[in-house]
Amino acid sequence: MKKLVIAITLAAGLGIGSFAGVQAKLPPAPPKSDAEKAAEAEKAAAAKAKDAADLAKAQDKAVANYKKGKGVVEPKAAKTTAASTSGKK
């Protein structure tokens, strides 16, 4: 009988404690200063630029892989000579 009372008391205490923990409110975060906001914006811009560079690199790799798999050959650019680009006729 005593073991049952102890088990019920522990279960009730655990239930009440978890309910109180769920209902508790945290204090609001302190407002950010202008320096912190600027640093955060700079980090976000750097991350965005890195993501864009990684995406471009991945797209170039995918295109090269596709062309290699399909056997697509890119036409070579016409060779220019010094005489043709100098403007002499």
Cβ 43 vs Cβ 51: under 8 Å: no
Answer whether residue 58 is part of any domain: yes
pLDDT above 70: residue 83: no
Mean of pLDDT values over 46-53: 97
Whole-angstrom Cα distance, residue 61 to residue 55?
A: 10
Whole-angstrom Cα distance, residue 14 to residue 20?
A: 10
Mean of pLDDT values over 42-71: 94
> One-letter amino acid identity for 11?
A
pLDDT interval class at 7 (50, 70, 90): very high
Where in the sequence is the domain holding 58, given as residue range(s)? 39-63
pLDDT digits (tens, 9 = 90+) for 54-63: 999 999 999 9
Look at the chain and report how many structural domains it folds into. 1
CA atoms within 13 A on the CB side of 16: 6
Please report, for residues 33, 76, 85, 89, the alpha-carbon distance to residue 81 in angstroms, rounded to integers and kept in the order given: 60, 15, 6, 13
Answer whether residue 8 is part of any domain: no
**Whole-structure pTM value:** 0.46
Higher pLDDT, 28 or 79: 28
Tell me which of 12-16, 25-29, 45-49, 63-67 is least confident: 25-29
Answer whether residue 79 is part of any domain: no
Answer whether residue 59 is part of any domain: yes
